[in-house]
A and B are shown apart, each in its own frame.
Chain A
Amino acid sequence: MASATAAGDAAPPDVRLGPSPLLEVSDLRVTFHSRAGNVYAVQGISFSIEPGQTLAIIGESGSGKTVSAQAMMAILPRTAHVTGSIRFNGEEMVGRSERELRDYRGRCVAMVFQNPERSLNPTMRVGSQIAEAITTHLPLDRKQAHERAIELLRMVRIPAPERRFYEYPHQLSGGMRQRVVIAIALACGPAVLIADEATTALDVTTQAQIMDLLLDLQEETGTALLMISHDLGLAASYAEDVIVMYAGKVVERAPTKELFAGVRMPYTQALLDAIPRIDTQPHVLLPVIGGRPPDLSVIPAGCPFAPRCPEVQQDCRDQAPPLKQHEPERWWACWHPYRKGAGQ
């Protein structure tokens, strides 16, 4: 596609063809310190993304998925204490200075946020906002940045990009605004694109359009896509691999097809059961589990899901199960997983 090549020419991504994985997170822990006590938001997660891969992180609010994404973008507030390692092409990113990180953000890893209204400046023309992202990271002058911005608007399929360049965010619809946010994220040709609930605020029809756009752009540019969502249905439809998080930990990881064919971890099953499906009968009660996600200010001794788990046994309460690879490409953290084919 012409736009893709032009984009590639204007912004050679500073990505050396290193050995995989592209982005490797290992034993990432994020703790928020406050006078009221510590909050252990992320309690040691590890995973990696290869170029061109689509990975989804699924979890409820408070499971630590957004905090993990913010740690990968290095945009956590100062109250956050990050340990563990985040390696981009083999280079450690945790503990870098702000100046070094500025180059890393946008060029290596870029992010699309949930609410397009809040991530755009209402007093700036959308074109200028894209151009700003370009000139911040790339050695281009104003005119070149302008051309590249229009190129990007065309890439995210905004009709009449020359005219739209001069419009303000309030003149665009929610879907169009999210397209602008995606254009800004893609401005410097990032190797990893993080979409944090990027379609949650949008209607189903617009959500389908935006997801199709993201996957098409991924094919064109070869970036890795990390989707963060609470919607298992969305992950099932668009991601290749799924990571399920609960209480700051990864509890299950598997290729999408295999995960939905046979869930191992009871929490994933509970999540899946709770979704109203299009093929269920009306007025049928949904199977629900009681309780609430645990308080993150204390690290429990056992499995964090134990108090709500239907399969709980004594060893679950005594010791937390580690996330282990049990089958090729399948990881889970559970002492008593569902067996193959069971549990559904």
Chain B
Amino acid sequence: MTSGEVLLEVHDLVQEFVLRDFGGTKGGVLQAVAGVSLELHVGETLGIVGETGSGKSTLARSVIQAPPPKRGQVIFQGQDLVKLSGRALKSARRNLQMVFQDPFTSLDPRWTVTRLVEEPLVAYAEGDRQERRTRVSELLDLVGLDPERHGGRHPHELSGGQCQRVAVARALALNPKLILCDEPVSSLDVLVQAQVLNLFEKLREELGLSYLFIAHDLALVRQVSDRVAVMYLGKLCEVGPVQSLFAEPLHPYTFALLNSIPSPDPTVGRRDTASVISGELPSPLDPPSGCRFRTRCPRAEGRCAAEVPELRELTNGRFVACHFPLPAREAVAADGKAPDPVVAVAPAPLWPAEPNGAG
């Protein structure tokens, strides 16, 4: 599965946006990504989950240097992309491609499918016209489109799933090592979504690709990822192997997220309303002191407001940024509800009935 070799290393990445008031005066600084460090190994799929505004897309964009981050390092194949510019950056980015959420807006509506898929080859001056056309046919075949039938079409003549396949073909054109997928299937119907997900799986196996897979849908992330990172308000809450993280979430936020997913199995029933987290994401312009989740966390205490919890390794490969992580198995057992072996995330009341210190 993973060869253990590190492909992408992100160190303490910070991305800020300056908000401007009328007249261009500085209105405030929004720290969209506030010090994120993570590693991605060769052949691995790292899933990133989080709510809207948690900074997952900004993280991906900072990795491809569009725009470059404010601080931190992005080491891809041994090179720090932040330090590169111009031609050196262009050649380093060749192995790093991105697939965006909305296939209709990420493709030029006036271009044909062939021209769209050929563009990256032209940009990197790959081969002559004839060779490029051959490569385009190969790529379209690879993603399950017929070069004869679909090659001459424009994006509006294709369905959403077909457009997303074109976007994937574009990303694959230069034989990249890593593909950043920013919500690649969330605009598609379930049946089409399953087809595109299977395509990603097939390509991973055939081409040995690595993915950074961003999604808000946890079940989907579980389906494709080896490891998962949970983001909240620009920081990582928890990182861990997908199965143990889903079976035993350590961070209260991860637990709350898992508990919010409607399951396609009515026997699970309507979840305990008390375990659905209340409130909303605080303003990223003025994030809470200490732990950023403390305003919505039922386990929050005084220490959470004073001290920023660092991401630390609790057990093998399980990292968590929380002063009071959930005690996984014991708490469930103490409640008299043994975790279901298959759906270990079944909503068991892990939280105290009286939340203390929760805002």
Q: Which residues of A contact B (CB under 8 A)?
A: 60-61, 173-176, 203-209, 211-212, 215, 230-234, 236-238, 256-257, 260, 270-289, 292
Number of A-B contacts (CB under 8 A): 139
CB within 8 Å for A286 and B343 given contacts A233-B262, A234-B262, A280-B222: no
Chain A to chain B: the 3 pairs with minimum beta-carbon distance, closest first:
A274-B194, A276-B223, A237-B262
A19 to B: closest C-beta gap in Å: 30
Question: Quick check: B242 and A257 within 8 Å, CB to CB?
Answer: no
Chain A residues with CB below 8 A from B193, complex form? 274
B42 to A: closest C-beta gap in Å: 16
CB within 8 Å for A278 and B281 given contacts A233-B261, A237-B268: no
Q: How far is the CA of A286 from the CA of B246 in the complex (A)?
A: 19
Q: How far is the CA of A37 from the CA of B223 in the complex (A)?
A: 42
Question: Quick check: B280 and A175 within 8 Å, CB to CB?
Answer: yes
Q: How far is the CA of A237 from the CA of B276 in the complex (A)?
A: 14
B293 to A: closest C-beta gap in Å: 12
Question: Quick check: A236 and B262 within 8 Å, CB to CB?
Answer: yes
CB within 8 Å for A203 and B266 given contacts A60-B190, A279-B343, A286-B198: no
Question: Quick check: B194 and A286 within 8 Å, CB to CB?
Answer: yes
CB within 8 Å for A288 and B194 given contacts A175-B280, A275-B264: yes
CB within 8 Å for A274 and B264 given contacts A212-B276, A282-B226, A285-B198: no
Task: Give 1 or 0 for each of B224-235: 1 = CB within 8 Å of chain A CB.
Answer: 111000000000
A252 to B: closest C-beta gap in Å: 15
A264 to B: closest C-beta gap in Å: 16
Q: List residues of B (122-181) whose CB comes within 8 Å of A's CBs.
A: 159
Question: Quick check: A260 and B266 within 8 Å, CB to CB?
Answer: yes
Question: Quick check: A260 and B278 within 8 Å, CB to CB?
Answer: no
Q: How far is the CA of A238 from the CA of B269 in the complex (A)?
A: 8
* Given A208-B262, A273-B194, A285-B198, 18 further pairs, Cβ under 8 A: A205-B51, A205-B277, A207-B262, A233-B264, A238-B262, A257-B267, A271-B190, A276-B220, A277-B223, A277-B263, A278-B246, A278-B261, A280-B223, A282-B243, A283-B223, A283-B224, A286-B197, A286-B198
Q: Is B256 engaged at the interface, CB distance under 8 Å to the other chain? A: yes
A84 to B: closest C-beta gap in Å: 26
Question: Quick check: A288 and B268 within 8 Å, CB to CB?
Answer: no
Chain A residues with CB below 8 A from B261, complex form? 204, 233, 278
Q: How far is the CA of A233 from the CA of B222 in the complex (A)?
A: 16
Nearest chain A residue, comparing its CB with the CB of B51:
A203
Question: Quick check: A208 and B195 within 8 Å, CB to CB?
Answer: no
Q: List residues of B (96-129) whose CB comes within 8 Å of A's CBs.
A: none
Nearest chain A residue, comparing its CB with the CB of B281:
A173
Question: Quick check: B270 and A286 within 8 Å, CB to CB?
Answer: no
Residue with the highest number of chain B CB atoms closer than 10 Å, among A206, A233, A273, A279:
A279
B10 to A: closest C-beta gap in Å: 22
Q: How far is the CA of A212 from the CA of B276 in the complex (A)?
A: 9
Question: Quick check: A60 and B191 within 8 Å, CB to CB?
Answer: yes
Nearest chain A residue, comparing its CB with the CB of B204:
A283
Q: Is B189 engaged at the interface, CB distance under 8 Å to the other chain? A: yes
Question: Quick check: A278 and B271 within 8 Å, CB to CB?
Answer: no
Question: Quick check: A278 and B258 within 8 Å, CB to CB?
Answer: yes
Q: List residues of B (192-225) whose CB comes within 8 Å of A's CBs.
A: 193-195, 197-198, 201-202, 204, 216-220, 222-225
